[in-house]
Amino acid sequence: MTKKAAKAADPSYQFDAIVIGTGPGGEGVAMQLAKAGKKVAVIERYEAVGGGCTHWGTIPSKALRHSVSRLIEYNTTSLFSENQVARHVTFQDIMKHASGVVKKQSRLRTSFYDRNRVSLIHGEASFVDAHTLQIIRPDGSKDTITAHQIVIATGSRPYTPKDIDFDHPRIYNSDTILSLKHEPQNIIIYGAGVIGSEYASIFRGMGVKVDLVNMRDRLLSFLDAEISDALSYHLWNNGVVIRHTETYKSVVGHDDCVVMELESGKRMKADCLLFANGRTGNTDMLNLDAIGLKADSRGQLRVDENYRTDIENVFAVGDVIGYPSLASAAYNQGRSAAEAMLSGKANSGLVEDIPTGIYTIPEISSVGKTEQELTAMKVPYEVGRAQFKHLARAQIASTTVGSLKILFHRETKELLGIHCFGERASEIVHIGQAIMQQKNGGNTLDYFVNTTFNYPTMAEAYRVAALNGLNRIF
């Protein structure tokens, strides 16, 4: 964007900017622009704000996961389980807690728009031209609104192949699974990515037999191999049947079951099916042809380093632009896009070294390089490890499964990667992330060796792992 384009919008437009979608990406853009004094409108097709993150993805699934994790803890801790019958709850019971969290989050996010004087418009948006949107409101009436700049933050939805009947009451995707009406004894989960692996943990934790079908030869292959192996072992040890390098041939829903036939000839039967194999960008309803913009085969848009699409005044953020498809990244992409819309250049530092948080039971989180990446780069690294079973806090809390792994340069001791598997991993990883961000020599293993940690804590794992790593250097 030129300096001229970054000036105040043409007064003939109703708004300086319109944001389509109120998920994390849309919220990030709208808040940043509003705080800079711009006149902003956001368009939301659903009754409540928050997008897929709040209503169908991150928030409800993590609330589910938390409840199941506590149930497992109750049933396996001797303090509670001795001389007591194991507790059991239904999926609907747990969803009551999750739905309460969703409502609180949605109310909170609505208040953000109110406080910052952002106009919230409910309806479905589509382009008329590069500065004009048509809005079809919930009552069917139509309106048009105009803006100097427009941001597409419409998110994504589960990929649903046409040869599977998703209207069948026993066949679900990762959105509709939240309205599960059955109390299944067994479930087939097709797709062993982040969503599939998380739901495999959730259902197994509820005592449901799980068949997890993976198209690849290992789980979550983007992870450090040891962490991926740890997850595979933990799921296997808890009774999840994992079928690698398999693809489905057919899925047939019956009154009392679902039958899946694999290309390898295997046949599987379960009470219900969760299909969790990929997502599609929500761009097909936007009438992109009207502005000469095209999405790829997965409904995603291409953007430059400033989150600008091929159309000068149209930007895009969040799941609709693809990787990394994380709520945390989407919010910062929104903030960066707003900076580009205001000044012509985005702050790329906001979305560097993004931590990965995977809410299986137990959790996985990492930031930085994996061992496989460092080996391929021929970096002389070393490894420091701390096993949770040796930490007093983990023993007290009975959360002894897991470990922390620090990868560091054996000569400079610079931190290169942090990988954690275990309860609270997504919190623990931020300590390492904070040190990795330090400049001028501050990012070294010495910080963990020379810092006094509270005892007993899970954070103490960093000191244990750092000393373990130093012992490997000769």
Q: Binding site for NAD(+): what residues are annotated?
A: 191-198, 278
d(CA 61, CA 360): 10
Report the binding-site residues: 44-53, 62, 154-156, 191-198, 278, 319
List binding-site positions for FAD: 44-53, 62, 154-156, 319
The strand pair at 356-358 and 364-368 is best described as: antiparallel
Pairing of strands 124-129, 209-213: unpaired
Q: Which of 275, 54, 287 is nearest to 150 (CA)?
A: 287
What are the C-alpha distances in Å from 431 to residues 146, 249, 295, 404, 436? 45, 45, 38, 12, 9
- Using DSSP, state whether 154 is helix, strand or coil: coil
- Between CA 79 and CA 464 the distance in angstroms is 28
Report residue 247 as tokens: 């693809």
Give pairs for 239-242: CB < 8 Å, separation 24+. Answer: 239/204, 239/209, 239/210, 240/200, 240/204, 240/210, 240/211, 240/212, 241/209, 241/210, 241/211, 241/212, 242/192, 242/212, 242/214
SS3 22: coil
**What's the DSSP call for residue 317?**
-
Look at residues 394, 385, 405, 386 and name the one whose alpha carbon lies nearest to residue 458. 394
